[in-house]
Amino acid sequence: MSIRSFAASLMLLALATVPAVAQNPPVMTVPKESPRASVSQTVGLTEITITYDRPAVKGRKIWGGLVPFDTVWRAGANENTVLAVTSPFTVGGTRLPAGRYGVHTIPTASTWTIIFSHQAGAWGSFSYDPREDALRFTVTPRTADPMERLQYSLDDPSDSSVTVTLRWENLAVSFPLTVSTRQVVLDSLRQQLRGLPRFFAVGWAESARWALAHNTGTELAAAWADTAAQIAPTFANLRLKAATLDRLGDSAGAEALRQRSMGVATEVDINLLGYQLLNQGKVDEAVAIFRKNVKDYPRSWNVYDSLGEALAKKGLKKEAVADYQKALSMVDDERQKQRIRTVLSGLQ
């Protein structure tokens, strides 16, 4: 085939494809008039996200105009607004399971109806079906600073709640969303302890410590602390188990564990216990603990330093000076030496 014939064949092939391209023209990507946006907030372990498109005022009358009263509205532009929550939650007095919900509203001049729909993939509210409602509740709008583009925010987050707010033009609509964070965390810890953390004391101890600190799941905390103490019967784990027994009212069992913990305590364990007592205002008990550390670890400069601090707090300056001087004579670190000299200058 000559070069001229080959070129002619290519031209015919190209022309033959033109009708197919014309029937399916490529779609060009351009900016949306109402840009996509999302806002997220973590409440405890729960992720809350609102995804929506942001229409602009552009000098138009919005409420009762662009957005008619007494008509279901998508609460945004384009696709319906979507609320996604990763844990069960309560809103409008109703508890809902975790999931994705289409958000619609029915604005009026005085009140708004907020609608959560099980259908979260619709285009606007054009196919909205009340039979797919997860819930409805009523809120009262309020005047607000001008907002050109519609905006959602998740305001005033706490460890168990957040306030969902829609702002547009000169209006704001808000409602609280709450999560049972303590139950969510307990359920999460149970699940985590089915995995690799179950083979290590630290996972059981951290779980028990969280439950104790938040005054929830005390019997679970006791069981978790017991497992931690069985895997690693350390000072910290035995005293954690004792704390759970105290919470359950078993004072005798708790005291027995505390006594047992002293038999496996390290210098660091006793030092930390002393400072814990000192911070609680139990100065006499702290002094006794620090004296024990001096007796057990007489070659450690730090035990004299800690005892000196407790004695100074008790008002026994002469004894405090003696212990600080002992610490100063033993320590090698120049920064610690300077710190102790500064403390001594304030005591003498």
Q: How would residue 9 be classed by pLDDT, with cut points 50, 70 and 90?
A: low
Residue 29's pLDDT is what?
Answer: 85
CATH superfamily of 187-264: Tetratricopeptide repeat domain (1.25.40.10)
Question: Tell me: the pLDDT tens digits for 142-189?
Answer: 999 999 999 999 999 999 999 999 999 999 999 999 999 999 999 999
Phi-psi label, residue 93: left if phi above 0, alpha if psi -120 to 50, beta otherwise: left
The domain segmentation of the chain, as residue ranges, is 36-179, 187-264, 266-338
Question: Tell me: the pLDDT tens digits for 190-206?
Answer: 999 999 999 999 999 99
Question: Tell me: the pLDDT tens digits for 61-108?
Answer: 999 999 999 999 999 999 999 999 999 999 999 999 999 999 999 999
Average of pLDDT values for 215-222?
Answer: 95
Q: In this predicted structure, which of 68-77, 108-117, 121-130 has the lowest mean pLDDT?
A: 121-130
pLDDT > 90 fraction of the chain, expressed in percent and rounded = 84
- Give CA 105 to chain center in angstroms: 29
Length of the chain: 348
Residue 163 to residues 79, 120, 172, 173: CA-CA distances in angstroms?
Answer: 23, 21, 12, 10
Question: Tell me: the pLDDT tens digits for 36-69?
Answer: 999 999 999 999 999 999 999 999 999 999 999 9
Is pLDDT above 80 for 15? no
Q: How would residue 348 be classed by pLDDT, with cut points 50, 70 and 90?
A: confident
- Give CA 239 to chain center in angstroms: 28
Give me the chain's average pLDDT, please. Answer: 92
CATH superfamily of 266-338: Tetratricopeptide repeat domain (1.25.40.10)
CA–CA distance, 209 with 157 (Å, rounded to integer): 24
Is-same-fold flag (187-264; 266-338)?
A: yes
